[in-house]
Amino acid sequence: GYQYEHCFSYDWTAMKGYHFLMRIGLMLNVLVQYSECFIDVIKTFGRRGTIKLIFETLKGPWLNADYVKKQIEKPLQLRLI
């Protein structure tokens, strides 16, 4: 429903901008879809705390750098099903 397969531009900067805007739109759509479940989080952290939680989550500090490094160093396996 997002028509995400077409970038609508030949300019690389415009395509990156379109990609980031689509990601933001998808994030907002997911937040709206799960807003009923999100009420408890807002009650726990408050509005500013919830915005900070979302921001910190999008920055990606939850990934363990050592784990990611080990996964990248493993040999790649492609499986055709």
Tell me the CB-side half-sphere exposure of residue 67, using CA atoms within 13 A.
4
Q: What is the pLDDT along the chain (81 residues), one digit of tens a residue?
A: 666 666 567 788 888 888 888 888 888 888 788 888 778 888 898 989 988 888 888 787 677 788 888 888 988 877 787
The CA distance from 13 to 39, in Å, is: 37
The CA distance from 40 to 42, in Å, is: 5
Closest by CA to 2, choosing from 21, 11, 17, 12, is 21
pLDDT value for 18: 82
Of all residues in the chain, what percent carry a pLDDT higher than 90?
A: 2
Length of the chain in terms of residues written: 81
Tell me the two tokens of residue 2: 């997002």
Instruction: Quote the pTM value.
Output: 0.44
pLDDT value for 6: 61
Residue ranges of domains in the chain: 12-73
